[in-house]
């Protein structure tokens, strides 16, 4: 086999495309960190809602209802404008407020995340989603009253170990991506609540 063909064949077998995609993502992350995290959050949030709809469709088996395109669009908007940027700056602030040298820094960061950021972010999620659905403020507040506490307690159960790993072991520039990958399934859960 010719050397050029052999090289192409070797690259194809060992995943040249994933390597190039990762290199491009790392470059974008370095050049445009907030925009890259916002775009990633938007895409993965929309994918999470799409996944929830597919699960719901499979659960109903006989009903061949079409997918709601507006759901993934709402999640993409929320991910792009809120999840990506807010998470980016929150992780930076955590590093600034509680440097690694502080005793029990990881535990303190986790407590700030779980007791301050998680409830505020979840409240924002419910309010924005209801507004994006075209509901008025009264309906949005009513939905928050019904769904907030169950979602927050589930958030604490699911996200506390995830955030412990994220805050303590994942490099700062990858924390939003790591959280987004887990959020793919979390958003599927939230969408199953009707949001």
Could you tell me which of 89, 85, 80 has the C-alpha nearest to residue 39?
Answer: 80
Average pLDDT over residues 164-190: 89
Assess contact for 45 and 78: CB atoms under 8 A.
yes
Contact in structure between 78 and 128 (CB atoms under 8 Å): yes
Would the pLDDT of 111 be above 70? yes
Buried b (16+ CB within 10 A) or exposed e, 11-50: eeeeeeeeeeeeeeeeeebeeebeebbbbbbbbbbbbbbb
* pLDDT at site 51: 87
**Mean pLDDT along residues 31-37:** 98
Q: Which two tokens stand for residue 126?
A: 């419910």
The angle formed by the CA atoms of residues 72, 40 and 159, to the nearest 5 degrees, is 80
Distance set, CA 66 to CA 63, 76, 99, 104, 137 (Å): 9, 19, 49, 50, 29
| DSSP H or E segment with residue 179 | helix 175-192
pLDDT in tens, 78-103: 999 999 999 999 999 999 999 999 99
């Amino acid at each position: 086999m010719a050397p050029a063909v052999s090289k192409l064949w070797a690259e194809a077998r060992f995943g040249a495309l994933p390597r190039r995609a990762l290199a491009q993502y790392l470059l974008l992350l370095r050049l445009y960190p907030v925009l890259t995290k916002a775009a990633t959050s938007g895409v993965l949030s929309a994918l999470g809602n799409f996944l929830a709809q597919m699960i719901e469709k499979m659960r109903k088996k006989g009903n061949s209802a079409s997918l709601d395109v507006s759901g993934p669009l709402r999640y993409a908007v929320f991910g792009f404008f809120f999840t990506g940027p807010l998470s980016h700056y929150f992780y930076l602030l955590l590093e600034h407020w509680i440097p690694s040298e502080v005793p029990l820094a990881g535990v303190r960061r986790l407590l700030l995340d779980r007791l301050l950021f998680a409830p505020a972010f979840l409240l924002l999620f419910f309010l924005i989603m209801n507004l994006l659905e075209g509901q008025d403020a009264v309906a949005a507040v009513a939905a928050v009253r019904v769904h907030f506490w169950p979602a927050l307690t589930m958030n604490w159960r699911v996200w506390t170990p995830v955030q412990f790993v994220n805050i303590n072991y994942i490099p700062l520039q990858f924390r939003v991506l790591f959280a987004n990958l887990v959020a793919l399934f979390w958003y599927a859960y939230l969408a199953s609540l009707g949001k």
